[in-house]
Chains A and B, each alone.
Chain A
Amino acid sequence: AQSVTQLGSHVSVSEGALVLLRCNYSSSVPPYLFWYVQYPNQGLQLLLKYTTGATLVKGINGFEAEFKKSETSFHLTKPSAHMSDAAEYFCAVSDWVTGGGNKLTFGTGTQLKVEL
């Protein structure tokens, strides 16, 4: 079984500060890992993904994440927060091996607040 743990249900940063959202996963197969962002009353938008290859992946809006197999982590970072980054962020791991395409297991989400 797969699982995802997101540390910190709420994170607050100042505008211009580093954003760090933590994600640890458990998977019995090589994982596909994703970060999604959700703005109020909207669906989920893909920020970035790791499947194979380079462990540092870059996404939209200046976000990036690094896959660290030894730490079973996939933390999301952005060097400088902007007010528009305020949203809820979800880390997810895909069970792509056992069939069913990309069945995702999500973390419980981290609400990011950006303050002036």
Chain B
Amino acid sequence: DAGITQSPRHKVTETGTPVTLRCHQTENHRYMYWYRQDPGHGLRLIHYSYGVKDTDKGEVSDGYSVSRSKTEDFLLTLESATSSQTSVYFCAISGTTEAFFGQGTRLTVV
């Protein structure tokens, strides 16, 4: 398995609270991504990074922000969690062709 670690693996939080999910890689890949997975939607891109401090929006970026201060870490922040952000979040990394995925973080907003 590609060296990708997501933390936490599970989290329950209350509406309106900030939440940060972490993705850590040991592969030194340039590109990192955050996706969310919801039934009937497959996976959808939230944000991605193409280098340290270089990030851009994906398809479903509203309500999310990201940061990448080191090559190996990519953080996803929900500034004020809402119930619609209950989902499974996957981090991915890629080099030139295929992407490799982490094990996911199951986030429940109550």
Contact = CB atoms under 8 A, between A and B. Distances in A.
- The answer to whether A and B come from one shared complex is yes
Interface of A: 4, 9, 32, 34, 36, 41-46, 49, 51, 90, 92, 96, 99-109
A44 B90 contact: yes
Contact of B94 (A42, A43, A51, A102): A102
A21 to B, nearest CB: 14
B83 to A, nearest CB: 22
A34 B40 contact: no
Given A43-B102, A44-B90, A99-B50, A49 B40 contact: no
B50 A100 contact: yes
Chain B binding site: helix, strand, loop or mixed by DSSP?
Answer: strand
Contacts of A34: 98-99
Contact of A100 (B31, B90, B95): B31
B50 A49 contact: no
Given A49-B98, A51-B97, A107-B42, A101 B103 contact: no
Given A42-B103, A43-B104, A108-B40, A103 B45 contact: yes
A43 B42 contact: no
Interface of B: 30-31, 33, 35, 40-45, 48, 50, 56, 58, 90, 92, 94-95, 97-104
Given A4-B42, A46-B98, A96-B97, 20 more contacts: A9-B40, A32-B97, A34-B98, A41-B104, A43-B104, A44-B90, A46-B99, A49-B97, A49-B98, A100-B31, A101-B30, A101-B31, A102-B94, A103-B33, A103-B48, A104-B92, A104-B99, A106-B44, A107-B42, A108-B42
Q: What are the 6 A-B residue pairs with the smallest beta carbon separation, nearest first? A: A101-B31, A106-B42, A43-B101, A102-B94, A44-B101, A108-B42
A16 to B, nearest CB: 29
